[in-house]
Amino acid sequence: MVEGGELPPIDVYKVGEGYYVIDGHHRVSVARSLGRDTINARVIDVQTRAPLGTNVDPEELLRTAEYAQFLETTQLHRLRPDARLECSRLGRYDEIFKHILGHEYFLGLERGHAVSLPEAAASWYDTVYLPIAKAIRRHNVLEQMPGWTEADVYVEITRRWLALSEAGKPAGPHPAVHALLEEEAKRWWQRRWAMVLPERRRVER
């Protein structure tokens, strides 16, 4: 984007006159920092009969709808009543659902027969999600990343786990947790310097 090239379009929901990012938050941030007024996007137009008054948060409604659809499809709330997969950003339930579909495929190969989606979702929760959640809790990640949920962090850790593996580096939940925390620490300092530098310029003048 710095060189003027175009990246894949972001994905957004449109509710009334508002747009809510599903995928592409980083691209939006970069575009804003470069002073771009527009960005290519794939738009899902959400029609609702519910009155959206000033006290209604459309983004919260969209997150709730995504979670409801996720639970209805996977039946995870019935098979694992204690499971709480709450995401703070739109689009993350779709990503988690793709993980479950992949788990369903490999579980079928392992067992030699097709498995149902709810069965695969329960197995994914027990053998994939919970071990990563334990690593998140062990490293106190949520205390270091306020505003994030455990399911948010799960998604980010799986992304870094894959990236470390593809780079030939030690991979797994714990290295991925460290990679995520290091990236967040760098972002914190970048945000900090972004606030400090304008103040320094005013002082120097």
* 34 and 97 assigned to the same domain: no
Query: Which helix H or strand E contains 63, and what residues bound it?
Result: helix 58-74
Q: Which of 26, 47, 68 is the last residue of a domain?
A: 47
> What is the number of H-type helices and E-type strands within the chain?
9, 3
* Assigned domain for 205 exists: no
* Assigned domain for 3 exists: yes
* Assigned domain for 191 exists: yes
pTM for the model stands at 0.71
Q: Which of 47, 64, 82 is the last residue of a domain?
A: 47
Question: Other CB atoms closer than 10 Å to residue 127's CB: what's the count?
Answer: 11
* 42 and 77 assigned to the same domain: no
* Assigned domain for 70 exists: yes
Per-residue pLDDT tens digits for 149-197: 999 999 999 999 999 999 999 889 999 999 999 988 787 566 555 655 5
* 111 and 170 assigned to the same domain: yes
What value does the CA radius of gyration of the chain take, rounded to a whole number of Å? 20
Per-residue pLDDT tens digits for 19-46: 878 777 778 888 887 788 888 888 888 7
* Assigned domain for 129 exists: yes
The number of distinct structural domains making up the chain is 2
Tokens at 197, concatenated: 């530098």
Specify the amino acid at residue 103: H
Which residues have CB under 8 Å from 95's CB, separation 6+?
155
Tokens at 57, concatenated: 């948060």
* 110 and 10 assigned to the same domain: no
Q: Can you tell me the distance from the alpha carbon of 45 to that of 15, in angstroms, rounded to the nearest whole number?
A: 7
Q: Which residues of 128-158 are buried (b: 16+ CB within 10 A; e: fewer)?
A: bbeebbebbeebebeeebeebbbbbbbbbbb
* 28 and 72 assigned to the same domain: no
User: Which range marks the domain in which residue 171 is found?
Assistant: 55-198
* 66 and 40 assigned to the same domain: no
* 192 and 153 assigned to the same domain: yes
Tokens at 33, concatenated: 């920092």
Pick the residue with more confidence: 120 or 189? 120
* 62 and 125 assigned to the same domain: yes
CA distances from 23 to 1, 47, 66, 79 (A): 17, 20, 14, 29
pLDDT value for 7: 77
| Over residues 3-12, mean pLDDT | 78
* 10 and 82 assigned to the same domain: no
* 165 and 127 assigned to the same domain: yes
* 28 and 67 assigned to the same domain: no
pLDDT value for 32: 80
Comparing C-alpha atoms, which of 99, 108, 48 is closest to residue 70? 99
Tokens at 161, concatenated: 């786990």
Q: Which residue in this structure is represented by tokens 């990503």? A: 95
* 167 and 106 assigned to the same domain: yes
